[in-house]
Amino acid sequence: MADLVDDDLVDYSEDEEFNEDKLNDEDYDSLYDALPKLNGKVAQYNDQIGDLDLKEALYYNYFNIDDAFNELKERYPKKKQIASVTKAKSNFASPSPDDKVTAAQNRSVEQDMSELKIGTPEKTPTPTDKTVLKNTKPFKKINLPEELTSNETFKKPRKSFVVIGHVDAGKSTLMGRLLFEVGAVDGKTVNNLVRQAEKLGKGSFALAWVMDQTSEERNRGVTVDICATNFETDKCRFVAIDAPGHKDFVPQMIGGVSQADFAVLVVDAIGGEFESGFSMDGQTKEHVILAKSLGLDRVCVVVNKMDKENWAEIRYKEIVSQLNQFLTSCEINFDSSKIDFIPISGLTGTNVAKRDGKIQEFSWYKGPTFIEYLNQVDTGKEAITSDIDTVLQESFRMVVTDVHEISNSDFEITGKVDSGVIQPGETIHVNPSDEYLPIQSITLHEKPINVAVRGEIVSFMFKKSNLKSKSFEDVRRGDILSQINSPVKAVKNFTVRLNLFNMKKPLLVGTPFVLFRNNYSVPARLSKIISIEGGKKKQHLVSKQVATAEIEIRDRPLPLTNYEDTKTLGRVVIRREGITIGAGIVVDL
Amino acid sequence: MRLLKQSFEKDRSGSVTLVPQDKEDLWQCYNLIQKNDEIKLSTHRNIKKASGGGLTGGKEKGKQERKVLTLRVSVEDIEYLPSEDVMRIRGKTTEPNEFVPLQSYHTAEIELQKSFTLYKEDWDEVSFEIISKACSIEEKAEVGAIVLEDGVAHLCLVTDNMTVLRNKIEKSIPRKRRGEGGGGSHDKALTKFYEMVSTTVFRNFDLEKLKAIIIASPGFAASSLLDTLNTMATRENNKIFFQNKSKFIVAHSSTGYLQGLEEVLKDPSIQKSLSNTKFAREASAFEEFQKVLNEDDGRAWYGASEAEKALNMGAVRCLMLTDSLFRSDDISIRKHYIKLTEDAKGQGVEVLVFSSLHESGEQLNQLTGIAVLLKYPIVDLDELEEE
């Protein structure tokens, strides 16, 4: 390697690019010796890195395959910016003009050879590949690790939670109260709502109306759809998702769960109300089962309307012990260390942000207020700064939660980033409508940002003119945005490992049901039972069975990944006739 | 269906002349006509002009002419799409014709309101029953159904033997957002969606002919749609709507996908207002079968060999099978199932032949097409006698 170092450091410049033509023979041989090996290695981890990048990596790492691989791992998908940093370490002299000629001759031969040797065309797209041409570079060149660690927004821990529970437990009211207490909604707005609500004789609904915005929801007094809202305290950023409690709107609630890191379960403390929400048909139970099956492993139980029970400790204890028993039972299986309880009153606001000592009956409670709890709670997911390396390696995925028209020429897609990072200027692929769209800008909490990263709920702006179909109606809630050449597939048939709950009727081959993946629901049916755990193979499944089965989608294809690939995108839940009957993970596409 | 003429011989061969009158009749014809039956009907065929002598002969040669002919065809293939009002049969001609030589292939269409004569070598019970049922003067009820949820709606027509999806309407509805008073673009899109559905209902449903129109949805979508229908009818001064307003029934389903329809049809309170019993009976029998199967005590079985064994033991209470079993090209299979149903009826068993164009029939089809409910449990029916 000594011959690589040249005394003539004057030739070295910051802008120097790797140029294959300028290599000397020896370098050339080493390069093409190492390339296929590296290629094989890289293909397993990320098959989107072009040949040129591989060569570059080898070149700057003195043709050491392992070093080059590590570098690629570090900097992918960022190519140039970090390359220029590493470049500073190397100092090469330009080869002589003669070398150039021979190198060029060698190259034409060896390029072919090396491509023959690689022999895995599906994994190594050449730069001339059509899809790669559609790829675009970010508008701004930024140092990603630095951006992610230094940006004020990313530094503050982010927590997202979904508020679940039986209908009329007070979920929306609690959310309204919370937003009012942290200052996300001003007193004027609330006063306005109070006046409007009183006019209609629905005084107690005023706070809920902060979240329940549609005329239908206000007239009927129930939440219909989820509503995600952002707010901040001095310690954390929050995304709060208010979910509907009514049985008919469980599909919407599932969409809310898919965006959250943990669940806030609201239960009504009033005698009889708690019990009815908790009975077999009550939503308390179904919501909890869904939240757990969709991957939320932390739950905070908010015992609401304690003022109506005169803040009685006995009542609170009774509810806590019942719920504890239920949540840790083998059917639900929450870890007892990940369950917390807080008594509050959403309507009066006691113990939401603060509690005054005036309520004698409540003096027994020494724990945190709801907001204190939210600030303290460790979701295990909020700190992006700690594993930047992993995030940068991941390939970008996002599930669409909303599509909005902004103007005649632009539209916006909102969603939670499931993995990886992406910057404005890069092109994403929309599955299953098969659109390739360059991102015009990215916003987070209504503020423009340079990079979207895993876990954040962000909005991308696109130009309608970039759409093949010219209509953004084809991009729907539940579609997956990904990097070009990602393994996300839109499928009609796939194999799941299914875990069935209690059912009133068996699940027959051919039985139709509604399949949920994140916030996407689609009619589907069981097309084949492959095996039943601990039983002989039949044409039907009964309660509590675990089975591997094939599912057929009876609508447009569903974009999916294997559970192994992206956990959040490989989970499904099935419901029939309004009852959740099973959950599963995708094992094969 | 109208029966114009019938003549049967002692050896059970014979012919009938029929006029299909609606979609459902076509479906019955599809179940009736089998391979190797013969059909005589008037049909179009392109005929090459004969090269006559004379001066113009040369010019006319090779040109085709479309002629209406009466042909008798031995059926080889039948094609039927429920969404179209026509059925195609293909086969070889068996009677000579001035223009068409014997044994030449022809594809004919069986259309509504056009008569045809069907010859069968062997008229069996199932065929007889199809004809007698299809030709009964009892008024046939057709029900309209709209199954919807926010952003997607299905418009269907339901008759005794089939569910036909007429329209599917989809519209993406943006989420509500905090800070948009009254819901903003969400409310706007939703209103637009209901209007789209209403327009389609007015355009595609013959409100005067339909017996009832069911609107089913989770939540409030169904009643919102009815409100929109009302408003739009008032605006457009749609008298027909108001005359038939009492036919609309708002019902609850857990989903807006098509599968929600079966849920509604099973609902006893809806069944009461329909009095159309065949599909309701099928749906509830299949429901019962599923429930018993879930109890797993050996009183419900599916599969041909299980069903036969149970029948031989005289243990069957209710036999369910789909019409597609009788549609088999293999005569012996059809005969087998006919014998099976006859035996069952002889034992006093309730026999239900599901239409495979209904959801429950389609499900049963997936599940081997045959199922039985037993009078008493037989636990190892699938293992009995197999050794």
Domain B279-374 has CATH 3.40.50.720: no
Quick check: A300 pLDDT over 90? yes
Element containing residue B23 per DSSP (H, E): helix B23-32
Average pLDDT in the A415-428 region?
88
Percent of chain A with pLDDT over 90: 15
Specify whether A169 is located in the same domain as A305: yes
What gap in Å lies between CA A551 and CA A322, rounded to an integer? Answer: 37
Q: Which two tokens stand for residue B202?
A: 């007015």
CA A48 to chain centre: 22
* pLDDT given at position B295: 81
Residues with Cβ within 8 Å of residue B341, at least 6 apart in sequence? B125, B126, B319, B321, B351, B353
Specify whether A432 is located in the same domain as A328: no
Specify whether A510 is located in the same domain as A479: no
Specify whether A257 is located in the same domain as A311: yes
Inter-chain contact A404–B220, Cβ cutoff 8 Å? Answer: no
Quick check: A216 pLDDT over 60? yes
Chain B: residue whose CA lies nearest to A544: B294
A213: nearest CB among B178, B365, B367: B178
C-alpha neighbours within 13 Å on the C-beta side of residue A149: 9
Delimiting residues of CATH 3.30.420.60 domain(s) in chain B:
143-276
Q: Are B362 and B165 in contact (CB under 8 A)?
A: no
Higher pLDDT, A20 or B216: B216
Say whether A160 sits in a helix, a strand or coil: strand
Of the ranges A37-41, A93-97, B45-49, B211-215, which is most confident? B211-215
Residue B36 gets the label, from left (phi > 0), alpha (psi -120 to 50) or beta, of left
Instruction: Please report which confidence band the pLDDT of residue A543 belongs to, taking 50, 70 and 90 as the band edges.
Output: confident
Inter-chain contact A246–B293, Cβ cutoff 8 Å? Answer: no
Size of interface A-B (CB pairs under 8 A): 130
Average pLDDT of chain A? 79
Interface test with A, best of B190, B259, B359 (most A CBs within 10 A): B259
Give CA separation, B300 vs A501, B51, B262, B312, B378, in Å: 21, 69, 21, 15, 9
Torsion angle (degrees, nearest 10) of CA B280, B286, B288, B291: -140
Instruction: Please report which confidence band the pLDDT of residue A19 belongs to, taking 50, 70 and 90 as the band edges.
Output: low
Q: pLDDT digit string (tens) for B229-245?
A: 999 999 999 899 999 98
Specify whether A233 is located in the same domain as A331: yes
B176: nearest CB among A227, A511, A523: A227
**Superfamily for domain range B2-51+59-134:** Pelota, domain A (2.30.30.870)
Q: pLDDT digit string (tens) for A449-460?
A: 888 888 888 899
Specify whether A493 is located in the same domain as A477: no
Residue A499 lies in a domain: yes
C-alpha neighbours within 13 Å on the C-beta side of residue A549: 31
Which CATH number covers residue A493? 2.40.30.10
Tell me how crowded residue A409 is: count the other CB atoms within 10 A of its CB. 10
* Angle separating helix axes A25-45 and A51-60, nearest 10 degrees: 120
* pLDDT given at position A20: 63
Specify whether A171 is located in the same domain as A274: yes
Question: Pick from A352, A376, A400: which residue ends a domain?
Answer: A376
Min distance A399 CA to chain B CA atoms (Å): 15
Specify whether A437 is located in the same domain as A566: no
Specify whether A444 is located in the same domain as A466: yes
Q: pLDDT digit string (tens) for B133-145?
A: 788 766 666 888 9
Q: pLDDT digit string (tens) for B342-354?
A: 888 888 888 888 8
Residues with Cβ within 8 Å of residue A465, at least 6 apart in sequence? A409
Domain count, chain A: 4
Average pLDDT in the A32-54 region?
69
Specify whether A302 is located in the same domain as A167: yes
What gap in Å lies between CA A180 and CA A370, rounded to an integer? Answer: 13
B172: nearest CB among A403, A513, A540: A403
**Superfamily for domain range B143-276:** eRF1 domain 2 (3.30.420.60)
Inter-chain contact B255–A523, Cβ cutoff 8 Å? Answer: yes
Quick check: A363 pLDDT over 50? yes
- Sequence length of chain A is 589
| Identity of the residue numbered A431 | N
* Angle separating helix axes A51-60 and A65-75, nearest 10 degrees: 120
Specify whether A448 is located in the same domain as A344: no
Specify whether A469 is located in the same domain as A354: no
* pLDDT given at position A461: 92
Q: pLDDT digit string (tens) for B249-281?
A: 999 999 999 888 888 888 877 777 766 567 777
Q: Would you tell me which residues 186-215 of chain A have a C-beta closer than 8 angstroms to some C-beta of chain B?
A: 210-211, 213-215
Q: Domain residues for A540?
A: 489-588
Instruction: Please report which confidence band the pLDDT of residue A103 belongs to, taking 50, 70 and 90 as the band edges.
Output: low
Interface test with B, best of A211, A505, A526 (most B CBs within 10 A): A505
Delimiting residues of CATH 2.30.30.870 domain(s) in chain B:
2-51+59-134
Higher pLDDT, A227 or A147: A227
* pLDDT given at position A393: 81
Per CB distance under 8 Å, which residues of B are interface residues toward A?
A: 150, 171-172, 174-178, 180-187, 190, 218-220, 224, 252, 254-255, 257-259, 262-263, 287, 290-291, 293-294, 296, 302-303, 359, 362-368
